[in-house]
Amino acid sequence: MVDRRIPKLHDLAPLMQFKKPTFDLKAKRLREALTIEDLRRIAKRRTPTAAFDYTDGSAEAEISLRRARQAFRDVQFNPAILHDVATVDTGWDVLGKRVEQPFGIAPTGFTRMMQTEGEKAGAAAAAAAGIPFSLSTMGTASVEDVAEAAPGGRNWFQLYMWKDRDRSMALVDRAAAAGFDTLLVTVDVPVAGARLRDSRNGMTIPPSLTPKTIIDALPRPWWWVDFLTTEPLAFASLDRWSGTVAELLNTMFDPTVTYDDLAWIKSQWPGKLVVKGVQTVDDARRVTDLGVDALILSNHGGRQLDRAPIPFHLLPDVVREVGGDTEVHLDTGIMSGADIVAAVALGARFTLIGRAYLYGLMAGGREGVDRAIEILSVEIARTMRLLGVNSLDELEPRHVTQLERLVPRARG
């Protein structure tokens, strides 16, 4: 038998922990977002379909992106126990300067279309966190505006080599004059990928007010208020474009770019040079032999060639081939701090986040970017502690097993 009694007030008092009401709805929704996927769900609710799909989607059947994310899910961590992990250091030197986290913000195009604060929010948040911010050639803020938004930040500029070489290099000169210390040359865009979501949404630059977009805007009036009451979209490369994204890219990208052009760009740039879009071991060796400061294993977030190689799977082979000669960086598919730790353990010196940052931006502007960086930073530190390491230098391939899901068929 159980003896029962009427509870006394002093017994109930410690159990009655009512939270103070909050009237800051943005702060509340960001605080309740515990993962990048949570930020993605918020972003989808708050952003018109065309703009969200431009961020969220990739090329053709979107196989490359799904495979890249699955590769990180197929990681087995191998922790060491009984290590003192009261303190961990999540920073180290990248391209000759310290970063506080082993990730930075990747270059993204049309960013103010996602949320009106755009690149300025990303640059300011990155500077506050002690990580680099990369401005895209297709960005919606100028190099001068980004430098002003993050005067103490470490800013990188990403270059698409256009058919108009003079205009390309004029942007590079402006970036150097504005204090950008690193140039990322993207090499996997001879033509635009087939981004079918954008085609089906009829996405234009800037967004068009059609019956479809007006209906889509009804549950998201705040986005349109921001869009219509702030400075019109402007690009580092052009002021206005009336066609689709794919048409714009195909008028600009130069399918004749070769290794000779890359060597010429290197001779023009005074800072660090990084090649973005390497997808084979042979190309990794070849760009390394040109004397670049780093290469980025990337399939453009799955937005160019569908069924492209998975950068995370390629990482160990490339590190073995060129890791002693240049820094190996990585992007595509990163959705958690654990993904970043796995990449570092397999030899990546640095990683870049694109969609993860944009989900935060769409979810809450500058504060949303801060929250995305915070989520990843907390996850990195926690994963390191659970693995039994105190610093990034202690992460080794033994800490990670890449479980096999897609195994190449033997030839012959």
Question: What is the C-alpha to C-alpha distance for residues 94 and 110, in angstroms, rounded to an integer?
Answer: 27
Render 77-114 in DSSP notation, one character per residue: E----S---S--B--EEETTEEESSSEEEPP-SSHHHH
399 counts as catalytic:
no
Largest Cα separation within the chain, whole Å, is: 89
Q: How many residues does the chain have?
A: 412
Q: Which SS3 state, helix, strand or coil, does residue 295 take?
A: strand
Of 300, 313, 329, 399, catalytic: 300
Q: Does residue 160 contact residue 138 with C-beta atoms inside 8 Å?
A: yes
CB-CB neighbours of 406 under 10 Å: 10
CB half-sphere exposure, 294, CA atoms < 13 A: 24
For the record, the structure tokens of 120 come out as 């300025």
What are residue 299's DSSP bridge partners?
Answer: none
The stretches of 238-354 forming alpha helices (DSSP H) are 245-252, 259-268, 281-289, 311-322, 337-345
What are residue 97's DSSP bridge partners?
Answer: 94
Question: What is the C-alpha to C-alpha distance for residues 25 and 196, in angstroms, rounded to an integer?
Answer: 34
| Per-residue 3-state assignment (H helix, E strand, C coil) for 153-203 | CCEEEEECCECCHHHHHHHHHHHHHCCCCEEEEECCCCCCCCCHHHHHHCC
* Identity at 55, one-letter amino acid code: T
Please give the DSSP secondary-structure letter assigned to residue 271: S
* Identity at 208, one-letter amino acid code: S
Q: Does residue 100 contact residue 380 with C-beta atoms inside 8 Å?
A: no
Active-site residue list = 300
